Copies of this chain bind each other. A is one copy, B any other.
Amino acid sequence: MLHDLFTPSVQHALDLVGIFVFAISGALLAVRRNFDVFGMAVLAEITALGGGLLRDLVIGAVPPAAFTDLGYFSMPLVATALVFFLHPQVERIQNAVNVFDAAGLGLFCVTGTTKAYAYGLGLTSSVVLGLATAVGGGVLRDVLANEVPSLLRWDRDLYAVPALVGASIVALCIRFDALNALTSTLAVVTAFVLRLLAMRFHWRAPRAWNRRSAAEEGPEA
């Protein structure tokens, strides 16, 4: 079946790693926002599982995977416990966390695109859902924490673009009937490396031209 790119156990292990590192980023934000331990768990769960949940609702895969696999549900609780007890140490290895987060981003954009296509969506829609799988959890995390989603802010290093590239590679491979474990891995690695480069060199996307007028209030702002 198309969805099983890797052997099921490898796929599952990779999913759990991605979920875990996304959950760490949710729990860390919860600490920064001064939430209690339950707030940390909620934010960790939603950051880790929110993107896949959105995808599954859209493609009609109910109940979503997040609710049928106890492992998916448990990893964010482990991440919460870790951050709860070892918060300063986890903060200190923020760079390592960012590397894992980039790996999760690469992985989820590929599995998200593949799953959406397996459920009958077109290639473009599958790419959009792959992107949504990868970045949706982080957007929900920021919305719940009452912050402007870091995905949308111009002063953050590129995050959506690496995922978009990874998802597009998958779509191209499907289009030319070349999707297999090797090309999937290539797509994951491409997104992963692009994100690492974006962080290393602070790649950013441009803002609208001639924004000066934005500072003035429009007549019906």
Contacts and interface: CB of A to CB of B under 8 A. Distances in A.
Contacts of A43: 152
Interface of A: 30-40, 42-43, 53, 57-60, 62-64, 67-68, 70, 73, 83-85, 87-88, 91, 94-95, 98, 119-122, 124-125, 128-129, 139, 143-149, 151-154, 160-161, 199, 204-214, 218-221
Contact of A208 (B37, B70, B145): B37
A94 B36 CA distance: 25
Contact of A121 (B67, B94, B147, B148): B67
A25 B125 CA distance: 23
Given A145-B148, A151-B42, A205-B38, A58 B64 contact: yes
Given A63-B120, A73-B128, 7 more contacts: A31-B208, A32-B218, A57-B57, A57-B58, A67-B129, A143-B146, A146-B149
Contacts of A32: 214, 218, 221
Residue of A34, A209, A221 contacting most chain B CB atoms (<10 Å): A34
A57 B64 CA distance: 10
